[in-house]
């Protein structure tokens, strides 16, 4: 008989969270709170250390590692050092908000290099370990922009849609080995990536009013989705995109017709 009281527990499992600031920091804290031993990785070693120390202060187990996922050799090295992971969480991403006609090839390469190419490199390196051990859960952050777009979001949206298809393919290829692969698709979240919008009150308000809940999300509100997908509660969930968008993609405009 299934013990539902432990359905979300992660005791004895090891997780690597890449992008340990913002959403990644909260995901790492939540995984540790449910019993996982967490490795906090970030291009900025101070961010990784801060997340690991916050977990330790809360009574959890954590360590920190510096990792730039655009460096393929570094990704392979960290994967070789941590071959027994149960959970991989990838949150690292960037955006350059420009219309297509204003985009430069260099900007295109930077956004694709982090959001899509590094995603491929990371999934490939750590996925190989999980396939070999016959278990694991890979969770990567896409976005509502992988489904719906707006002016100035072309390359970012393309990478997030591409990441979803990459994850779905990995889910199919890794599934027989017991490895699950899923995406989380946030809506508007208050992180450094959205600081440009927050600085414009009208833009900030328009985004808040677009969703069904009428507000932005806090980074901590993404953590539950990560814990769920990492845990046995999602043991039959793979190849999925879990929208955590406050109803953004459910709403067709904000006009309320008369009943």
* Stretch (H or E) spanning 75: helix 72-81
Phi-psi region of 154 (alpha: psi -120 to 50; beta: other; left: phi over 0): alpha
DSSP secondary structure string for all residues of 157-225: HHHHHHHHHHHHHHHHHHGGGTEEEEEEEE-SB-SGGGHHHHTSHHHHHHHHHHSTTSSPBPGGGGHHH
Closest of 159, 33, 171 to residue 108, by C-alpha:
159
Q: Point out which residues pair with 185 in neighbouring strands.
A: 243
- The CA distance from 15 to 131, in Å, is 15
Catalytic residue among 156, 204, 207, 228: 156
CA distances from 173 to 66, 94, 131 (A): 29, 27, 9
156 has catalytic annotation: yes
Q: Which residues are catalytic?
A: 156
């Amino acid at each position: 008989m299934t013990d539902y009281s432990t359905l979300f527990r992660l005791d004895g499992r090891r997780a690597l969270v890449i992008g340990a600031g913002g959403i990644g920091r909260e995901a790492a804290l939540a995984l540790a709170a449910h019993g996982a031993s967490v490795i906090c990785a970030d291009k900025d070693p101070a961010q990784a250390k801060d997340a690991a120390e916050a977990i330790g202060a809360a009574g959890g187990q954590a360590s920190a590692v510096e990792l730039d996922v655009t460096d393929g050799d570094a990704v392979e090295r960290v994967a070789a050092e941590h071959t027994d992971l149960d959970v991989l969480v990838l949150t690292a991403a960037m955006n350059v908000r420009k219309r297509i006609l204003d985009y430069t090839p260099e900007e295109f390469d930077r956004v694709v290099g982090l959001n899509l190419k590094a995603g491929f490199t990371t999934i490939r390196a750590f996925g190989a370990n999980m396939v070999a051990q016959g278990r694991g859960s890979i969770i990567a952050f896409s976005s509502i922009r992988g489904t719906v777009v707006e002016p100035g979001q072309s390359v970012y949206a393309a990478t997030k849609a591409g990441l979803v298809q990459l994850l779905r393919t990995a889910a199919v290829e890794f599934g027989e080995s017991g490895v699950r692969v899923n995406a989380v698709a946030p809506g508007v979240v208050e992180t450094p990536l959205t600081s440009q919008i927050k600085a414009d009150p009208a833009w900030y308000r328009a985004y808040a009013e677009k969703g069904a809940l009428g507000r932005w999300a806090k980074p901590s509100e993404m953590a539950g989705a990560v814990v769920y997908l990492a845990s046995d509660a999602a043991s039959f969930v793979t190849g999925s995109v879990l929208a955590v968008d406050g109803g953004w993609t459910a709403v067709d405009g904000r006009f309320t017709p008369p009943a």
